[in-house]
Amino acid sequence: MNIRTSNPTNMRPLVYITLGFAPIIAAMIYLYFHRRISKEFSALLVKSFFLGMLGVLLLVAAQYLSSWLGLSELRNLKRTIFYSFITVGFASELGIYIIYRYIIIPKETINKPIHGITFSIMVALGFSTVRLLWFILDPIGISSLFPATLYTFVFVPANLIFAVIMGFYVGMAKFLRSRFVYNMTGLFAASFFHGLFNFCLLTQDFKLLSLFAFGSMVIVFVLGIKAASTKPEPLDKI
């Protein structure tokens, strides 16, 4: 299986524009909630964004390990699937999950399922900011596996989709008894969609990418409506 490559630095003016996408969206979310909810809520939004940046560390470690083991040489379909779903997809979402689940979700400020999605998005936006910078700088020479310009422009919207999926299930877990099931569903569902996104770009299968975009947006819409209409009370502290 041959993977066509490109270099992010070939279109440097374009790709650097995308570095502002996530911070701008995060600022808009902050300004929207700043005058509508408590100062504690706004402060946690900011904290979520900056903590989300740390989530990249696990991805960086996974990519270095993958490169060292030669697993980033995508010679066949099996390697491409492993790299898409495990090295990048699972490592990215696990880094986000650890911060979101164990630092953000336990806060009393999050008292509605829809809040879980909101803060998951903020963590993901922080992650996306640093991830795109890492992708563009490409210190270990593996970003060329992806179509650079397309990747940088669709990465933030894609991560918003993953964030809604994780935020719905992990956020709902705070208010339900079957917490483990919901937490793991959030982690692995987000990892799967992230992996599928990577796979579409690595193989440059744009028909599959279009189906992925349409299907995931429908799912996100349904989950958002369900979270907004659900108002359970916390059973006990996490």
Question: Shortest CA distance to 14 belongs to which of 194, 154, 196, 177?
Answer: 154
Total residue length of the chain? 238
Cα 111 to Cα 189: distance, rounded to the nearest angstrom = 23
pLDDT digits over 144-173, tens only? 788 888 899 999 999 999 999 999 999 999
Q: Tokens representing 159? A: 């991560």
Q: How far is CA 53 from CA 15, 117, 126, in A?
A: 19, 17, 5
Q: Enter the pTM of the model.
A: 0.91
Instruction: Map out the domains of the chain as residue ranges.
Output: 8-229
Segment (H or E) for 16: helix 12-17
- Does the pLDDT of residue 178 top 90, yes or no? no
Task: State the pLDDT at residue 139.
Answer: 85
Mean of pLDDT values over 134-144: 83
